[in-house]
Amino acid sequence: MRPDWINDPIPCPSLTHQTRAMDRQNQLTKPPGSLGRLEEMAIRICALQGRDAPSLDQVRIVVFAGDHGVARAGVSAYPQAVTLEMVRNFSRGGAAINVLARQLGAHLEVVDVGVAADPGPLPGVISRRAGFGTADFRAAPAMSEAALAVACAAGAEAVRRARESGCELFIGGEMGIGNTTAATALACALLDEPPQRLAGPGTGLDPAGVARKVAALEEALTRHASALTDPWEMLRHLGGFEIAALTGSMLAAAQQGMPLLVDGFIVSVAALTAVRLRPETGSWLLFAHESAEPGHRAVLAALQAEPLLRLGMRLGEASGAALAVPLLRCACALHREMATFVEAGVSGGVNKARKKGI
C-alpha cells in the first residue's frame, strides 16, 4: 500500500509567469526563437519558479546509494563491493560528481538507502537505510512494503532539506552496482517491453554479460508477472532502494513546487515511475541528457521528454545532469539580462512590441 503522503496535492506551474516570460522573449533583441531551446527552458523555469527573473544559483545534488541482490547473477562489470567503495570516495570528494559539484558551486549530499555493507558514519553521507541491499528479484520481491516506504521517504526528506536550504533546482543521482539491471526490469514492466529491446551494457558488460542480464531479467519478469499490477508494485518487486528514493524525491519535489533536473537512464526510470504514480509530477521535471544505455530513449519517449544533451555518457552519479546546469543558468541569465528592443533603441522590434499592446 502506498504511503499517504504520496497522494498530497501537486500544484501547477504558474501560467501567469509562463505567459509573461513568453512576452519578454518576444521583446528581447534577437529574432524570435533564435536562441532555440534556451528560450523554451527560460520560459519553463519562470513558470516553475513563479518568477519573472529566473535564477539557478542554488543547486542541490543528492546521490542515493544502494545495493542489489541481482548483482550475484553477474549482471555488472564490477563487483558489488564497489558501491561501498564509491560511497567512501564520494565522502572524500574524489568522484566525478564531486568535481562537477565543485565546478558548479552546488551542494552535494550522499544518502545511503541500503548499501550491502553499512559504511558507518562518513562526512557528507546521511544514513537512511532501508536494508542491506535488495533481495535477488529472480527469487523474491526486491523489497518489502516497509522497506519501500522507508526508501521513498528518504527521497522526500532530501527534498525537504533542499527546500529549507533555499534550493532552486534539485538533482537526484544514484550509485549501486546492478542498478542498471533493476532499472531495466522496471522499465520493461512499465513499458511492456521485452528485455532484449531495453537491456544494455550498463557500466561496460561484454556481449556475454548482456546475455546474462537478459536472462536474469526474463526470469524476474516471469516470476513476478502476476504481481506487476501497478507502478508501486512494479517498483517493490523489481526496483532498488536508490530508485525508490529517487521516485520519492520526484514526487516530493513536485508537491513542493521545486524544479527537478533528471539525469540518465536509471533516474529517468524513476521519473517514469513517479509520473505513472502521479501524472502531475511530469510538469516539474526537466531532462538533462540521453545516455548511451539503449533503453533510455524508450523511457524518454514514454515521458515525452526531449533532453538537452547527447554526450554518450553512462556514468550515473547525476553527472549528466550536472553538465546541463550551465546551459540552464545561461538560459536564465539571457532572459533576465538581455535588453528589449525598446530599451536598446534597436529598430524592428519596437513596432512588434506596439502591435502587441506593450
Closest by CA to 318, choosing from 245, 232, 257, is: 245
Measure the CA–CA gap between 40 and 140, rounded to whole angstroms: 45
* CB distance 202 to 314 below 8 Å: yes
Measure the CA–CA gap between 286 and 328, rounded to whole angstroms: 10
Q: How many other β-carbons are positioned within 10 Å of the β-carbon of residue 105?
A: 10
97 CB-near residues (< 8 Å, 6+ apart): 61, 63, 90, 108, 173, 317, 318, 319, 322
Q: Specify the DSSP class assigned to residue 111.
A: E
* CB distance 181 to 75 below 8 Å: yes
Measure the CA–CA gap between 197 and 183, rounded to whole angstroms: 14
Catalytic residue, chosen from 242, 317, 337, 343, is 317
- Please give the helix or strand (H or E) that residue 97 lies within, else none: helix 96-104
Half-sphere exposure of 19 (CA within 13 A, CB side): 4
**What's the distance, CA 314 to chain centroid?**
14
Please state the φ and ψ torsions of residue 254, each to the nearest 5 degrees: -65, -40
**What's the distance, CA 96 to chain centroid?**
17
Catalytic-residue membership of 157: no
The sign one gets for the Cα dihedral 175, 297, 230, 160 is positive
Measure the CA–CA gap between 330 and 327, rounded to whole angstroms: 5
Rounded to 5°, the CA angle 138-3-58 comes to: 95
Q: Is 146 exposed, middle or buried (0-12, 13-18, 19+ CB in 10 A)?
A: exposed
The sign one gets for the Cα dihedral 140, 245, 70, 202 is positive
Which residues are catalytically annotated? 317
